[in-house]
Structure 1
Amino acid sequence: MEIPNSNSYSQAVLGIQTTVSVTLARQQVPLSRIIDLVPGSMLTFDSHCDEPLTLEVGECPIAKGETVKIGDKFGLRIREILREEE
């Protein structure tokens, strides 16, 4: 059995795919409000529409940015990398 060198191992690990999410706003609401949702229902958030969006990996925020239009799709322009509190 051949033991992979650290460079090939690192490259293999860096090739692992993970899910990223962009979060516009977050709040807690009573479950009764969720049960009452129907098409056309509106939820209001305290965030202003110009506030930065949060990029998350595995529910861990890693960056903040702004929405950009790329053709008929949208993207996120990174403006700040968040550092983990030590």
Structure 2
Amino acid sequence: MAEQAEADEDKDEGADWGAAMAEQTESAAAMSALTNGSTTAPGNFQDFSATTMEGERVRDIDFILDIPVQLTVELGRTKLPIKNLLQLAQGSVVELDGLAGEPMDVLVNGCLIAQGEVVVVNDKFGIRLTDVITPAERIRKLNR
């Protein structure tokens, strides 16, 4: 019985070695074909050319129309030392670099898009746009 088990084990080892040798032969043949300059078939890829329909563009724009943005009207700016900042109290006046009557900057998410003048509408402040920056100028500023 022990001799039978050893014989079966030798057959299994021989089969394993045979499979490994066959795999190595296939691998060597594939490498040989690659180094001998054999050709391969071209890949089949999806066309991503700019053939979008006008309707698709409108849907793309509709997708972003409800995204909220931060609109800020900037009255002016100043720099002051922390010592002076800590001395500010109710009634303190902070001098800004903007002049009275000068157009104010209108920013969207921190990016300048227009300038305008202050108006009062129903007891609330508003801004009348006097100069709107073109989209080309906005893009040019982003690329800096």
Q: Same fold (TM over 0.5)?
A: yes
Question: For the residues of structure 1 that align with 2:138 and 2:68, how far apart are their CA atoms?
Answer: 22
Question: For the residues of structure 1 that align with 2:139 and 2:61, how far apart are their CA atoms?
Answer: 25
Shift of 1:85: 7.4
* 2:78/2:95 contact within 8 Å kept: no
SS at match of 1:84: helix
Change (3 A) 1:85 1:28: farther
**Structural RMSD (CA):** 1.7
2:138 equivalent to 1:84: yes
Q: TM-score, normalised by structure 2?
A: 0.51
Shift of 1:29: 1.4
Candidates 35, 46, 50, aligned match of 2:86 = 35
Question: For the residues of structure 2 that align with 1:11 and 1:64, how far apart are their CA atoms?
Answer: 27
Shift of 1:20: 0.4
- Tell me which structure has the larger Cα radius of gyration: 2
Task: Return the structure number with greater helix share.
Answer: 2
Alignment match, 2:50: none
Question: For the residues of structure 1 that align with 2:66 and 2:118, how far apart are their CA atoms?
Answer: 26
Task: Return the structure number with greater strand share.
Answer: 1
Deviations 1:33-61 (A, max 9, x none): 11111111111123221001110111111
Pairs aligned (count)? 82
Q: List 4+ stretches of structure 1 deviating above 2 A.
A: 5-9, 82-86
Alignment match, 1:15: 66
Candidates 100, 103, 106, aligned match of 1:52 = 103
Question: For the residues of structure 2 that align with 1:85 and 1:57, how far apart are their CA atoms?
Answer: 13
Structure 2 residue runs of 5 or longer lacking an equivalent are 1-55
